Amino acid sequence: MKAIRMHGRGGPEHLVYEDAPQPQPAQGEVLVRIYATGVIATELTWNETYQTKEGVARPLPIPGHDLSGVVEAVGPGVTDITVGSEVYALTAFGRDGAEAEYTIALPTELAPKPRSLDHIQAASVPLPALTAWQAFFDHANLVEEQTVLIHGAAGGVGVFAVQLAHLAGAHVIVTASARHHDFLKELGADEIIDYNTTRFEDVVHDVDIVLDMVGGEIIERSWNVLKKGGILVSVVNPPSPEQAKAHGVRSVWFIVEPSREQLIRIGALIDTGRIRPIVETVIPLSQASQAYEQGLKGHLRGKIVLRVIN
C-alpha cells in the first residue's frame, strides 16, 4: 500500500511517501480502508509516534491517528463491526496511524461516520472534538451558566471547544486574532479578545474554567482570571500544582483518549446540526510534509485534512 512513513525523528522533512506493507487484522482488530485523515502537526514531536505504548521502538512509523474510511476486513473475534460500514475514529498513539491506504483500528475506537459528513469533513473531527469533550465533560465537569475562557479558540481543538461550551449553556469567552472574530461569534463565542492588542487578564475575571490550547506563558497569566475553586485545563503543558494550590484552584493536563461512545454522541450532535467541523485545507496524502509545515506555523482555522482516496 502507499503510506507516509517517518525516516528519522524530527520534523516534516523526514516524512516519505512510499510503499509499505499492508497490515492484516489480528484477533480483535479491524482493517480500515482510509479515505481521509486529519493532520496533528505536533504528533511528530511526541515519543508515542516513535515507540509502542510499552516503550519499544517502532521503526518507520506511520503518523496520523484521525481517520474516516470504510471497514475492509475484521479479525477473528470481531462480531459487532460490519465489513463495508463507514467509520470514523481516533486510533491509539503508539501504533501505526492512518496516513496510509489501510490501517488497523480497534472496535472500541471506531464509530459510525456521521451521515451528514463526507469523509474529508469526518476525518477532521475525532481528535479535536474528543479533546474538547474530555476537557469539559470528563475533567472540568462543565455545567450550564458557568463562564469559560478558551485560549486558541480558532484552532483545531478550539472550534469544537467553543461550540460544545456554547451548547452546554456556558458563557464563552475566547482569545483569537482579529481575523477569526466574526467566525468565532458564529460558532457561539460571547466575548472575543484579540490577543495581539489586549491582555486577557486585564479584562477577564471570575472564570470557572480556562481551557488552554496555546501553553507557555498563557498558563502563568491564566491563574488570576479564575474564581476560587475554578479549574485550569491545559492540553499543551502541565500547569504547576503548586501554583494551582496557591491560587485556590485546580489544574489538569491530559492526553486525549480514543472513545467510540463519545464519538457516537459527537456524531449525533453533528447530524442534528448542533455542531459542525471546520476544515482549513485539504491536501493529497502524497504531499503530507507540506501539510505538517503549514500546521506547525500554528495559525490555523480548524483542521488540515489529507485526502487518501480521490
Ligand X SMILES: NC(=O)c1ccc[n+]([C@@H]2O[C@H](COP(=O)([O-])OP(=O)(O)OC[C@H]3O[C@@H](n4cnc5c(N)ncnc54)[C@H](OP(=O)(O)O)[C@@H]3O)[C@@H](O)[C@H]2O)c1
CA dist 20 to 59, 244, 277, Å?
12, 47, 31
**Residues near ligand X, by CB under 6 A:** 42, 127, 131, 151-152, 154-158, 175-177, 180, 195, 213-214, 218, 235-236, 255-256, 298-300
Look-up of cell digits 475484521? 74
Supply the minimum distance, in Å, between the C-beta of residue 52 and ligand X.
18
| Closer residue to ligand X (CB): 1 or 92 | 92
| Closer residue to ligand X (CB): 25 or 38 | 38
Q: Which three cell numbers stand for residue 33?
A: 480502508
Supply the minimum distance, in Å, between the C-beta of residue 213 and ligand X.
4
| Closer residue to ligand X (CB): 107 or 152 | 152
Supply the minimum distance, in Å, between the C-beta of residue 287 and ligand X.
18
User: How many Å apart are CA 229 and CA 208, to the nearest integer?
Assistant: 8
| Closer residue to ligand X (CB): 33 or 65 | 65
| Closer residue to ligand X (CB): 49 or 175 | 175
Supply the minimum distance, in Å, between the C-beta of residue 2 and ligand X.
25
| Closer residue to ligand X (CB): 104 or 176 | 176
User: How many Å apart are CA 127 and CA 302, to the nearest integer?
Assistant: 12
The Cβ of residue 6 has, within 10 Å, a number of other Cβ atoms equal to 22
The Cβ of residue 252 has, within 10 Å, a number of other Cβ atoms equal to 17
Supply the minimum distance, in Å, between the C-beta of residue 119 and ligand X.
20
| Closer residue to ligand X (CB): 102 or 195 | 195
Strand-pair category, 102-105 with 86-90: unpaired
| Closer residue to ligand X (CB): 29 or 251 | 251
Dihedral of alpha carbons 64, 66, 67, 73, sign: positive
Residue 118: CB partners within 8 Å, gap ≥ 6? Answer: none
User: How many Å apart are CA 308 and CA 121, to the nearest integer?
Assistant: 13
Supply the minimum distance, in Å, between the C-beta of residue 111 and ligand X.
18
227: helix, strand or coil? strand
User: How many Å apart are CA 209 and CA 230, to the nearest integer?
Assistant: 6
Q: Are 174 and 189 in contact (CB under 8 A)?
A: yes
Q: Which three cell numbers stand for residue 202?
A: 486585564
Supply the minimum distance, in Å, between the C-beta of residue 127 and ligand X.
6
Residue 206: CB partners within 8 Å, gap ≥ 6? Answer: 147, 225, 227
Supply the minimum distance, in Å, between the C-beta of residue 105 and ligand X.
18
Q: State the residue number with the nearest CB to ligand X.
A: 155
